[in-house]
Amino acid sequence: MAIVALIATPIILDVIDDARKSAGLSEANMILGGINNYCATEEIKVQMNSSYTAICKNGMTEDDVKKMVNLGNADIIEIEYTNKLTWLKVESNGIIYSLQDNKMVEGDLEKPEPSFANDSWSTIVENIKNGNASVYNVGDTKEVTLTGTYAGTYTVRIANNSTPTECSTEGFSQTACGFVVEFVDIITTHNMNSTDTNKGGWPASEMYSFVNTDIYNALPSDLQNVIIDTYTVSSHGSGDLSNFASTDKLYLLSTKEVWGKEGTSGTINYDSAEAETRQLDYYKNNGVTTDSYSGAVKTYQGNSNYWWLRAAYSNYSYSFYFVNPSSVWSIDSAFISYGVAPAFRIG
C-alpha cells in the first residue's frame, strides 16, 4: 500500500493541479467574454441614447467589471479598455492569466508595447482614433500578404503621421495628411494608359482603375476594413485646363509628396497641383529634395527601378511623372510600364 501511495500521490496531485489551472483558465476566459459582451451591448445603448453613462472606458476598474460579470474566485489585476479590451490580467485560484491574441493564457505577462510591425490593423486604428498615433514612428514597417495575381508578402511603412494646419485648407489634397502608409517597394509594373495620353489625368487613367481595383482587392480584408477614403488632388496635362479631384482608396504619390520644394537641381515646374499638397513626413525626415534624393529609391525584384507618380505633366498631352532608379524625377509616355507602389490612409 505504501508503494502504491508513493506512486499514486504525485499523479493525483498533478491531476488536481491541472484541474485547478483548467478551472482558473475557464474562469478567466469567462470574465473576458463577459466584458466583451457587456461592452458590445453597452455600445448599442450609447448609440441609441447619447446621455447613457457608459463604464466601458479606458481605466476601467475591478469594481466596473463586477457590474458586468460575476468574478467568482477571480480578481482583476490590470485592465485597459479603449474602444475594445486591449489588456487584461486576472488572478484565479492563485494563478495569474494574461490576455494574449484575444484570449486568456496562463502566465504573468507584461503588457506589450505598441508596435506597428506586430499590432493588428484594428489596434493601430484604435490608437489613431484615440489620438495615440505617436506611439508609432514614421518609417516603421509592417509585412502585408497579398493574394491572387500579386500573391506574396510585401513591406509597407508609415510615410506620414502629422496633420498640419494646411491640411484643413479647402481643396487641399489629403494624400500627405494624417496617417499615411505606403508600399516600401514596387508590387508590379503597369502602364498609366494603354494609349499615349494623359487626358483626364490620374482619375481617368487605367492605372487608377488598376490600383483601386486589382491591387486593392488583393489586400487582406483586415487592412481593407481600415483604409479610409482620401480626397486626392492631381495635376493636368496640356489637353486639360484644371487639376483633378478624386476620392481614392489607394493612390500614387505626386512630385511634391516625394521631393518637396527644397533644392534647386532639376526644379519641378510642370506639376500643376504641387501647391495643393505637401511633402510626406518620411521623405522630409530623410532629407529628400530635388538635390538630394537617394531616400526615394524603390526596388522591384531586388533591383532599384522606375516607379510611376500620379502627376500628369502639364506641358505635354501624353506624359506622367515617374521616379527613376536613382530617385530623380523624370517624365515618360503614359503607355510605358513602370513600377506600382501605392499609398493609402488608415483611420
Q: Residue 194 pLDDT > 60, yes or no?
A: yes
pLDDT at 337: 98
pLDDT at 340: 98
Q: Report which DSSP code applies to 134.
A: G
150 sits in which H/E element: none
Cα angle, residue 290 at apex, residues 197 and 309 outer, rounded to 5°: 30
Q: How many residues does the chain have?
A: 347
Tens of pLDDT, residue by residue over 5-46, are: 555 455 554 545 566 778 889 999 999 999 988 888 887 887
More confident residue, 334 or 112: 334
What average pLDDT does the segment 58-76 reach? 85
Among the residue ranges 2-16, 150-164, 328-342, the one predicted with the least confidence is: 2-16
Tens of pLDDT, residue by residue over 202-234, are: 999 999 999 999 999 999 999 999 999 999 999
What average pLDDT does the segment 107-121 reach? 90
What are the φ and ψ backbone dihedral angles of 199, each rounded to 5 degrees? -60, 130
What are the φ and ψ backbone dihedral angles of 280, each rounded to 5 degrees? -65, 145
What is the sign of the dihedral through the CA atoms of 68, 74, 80 and 86? Answer: negative
pLDDT at 264: 60
Q: Residue 180 pLDDT > 90, yes or no?
A: yes
More confident residue, 20 or 281: 281
Q: Residue 50 pLDDT > 80, yes or no?
A: no
Cell numbers found for residue 232: 486626392
Pick left, alpha or beta for residue 35 (phi over 0 → left; psi -120 to 50 → alpha; otherwise beta). alpha
Question: Based on the number of CB atoms within 10 Å of its own CB, is 7 exposed (0-12), middle (13-18) or buried (19 or more)?
Answer: exposed
Q: Residue 47 pLDDT > 80, yes or no?
A: no
pLDDT at 15: 47
Q: The pTM is what?
A: 0.79
pLDDT > 70: percent of the chain? 91
Among the residue ranges 3-7, 101-105, 131-135, 242-246, the one predicted with the least confidence is: 3-7
- Identity of residue 116: F
Among the residue ranges 58-67, 109-118, 280-289, the one predicted with the least confidence is: 58-67
Helix, strand, or coil (residue 183): strand
* Cα separation, 97 vs 76, whole angstroms: 10
What average pLDDT does the segment 246-265 reach? 90
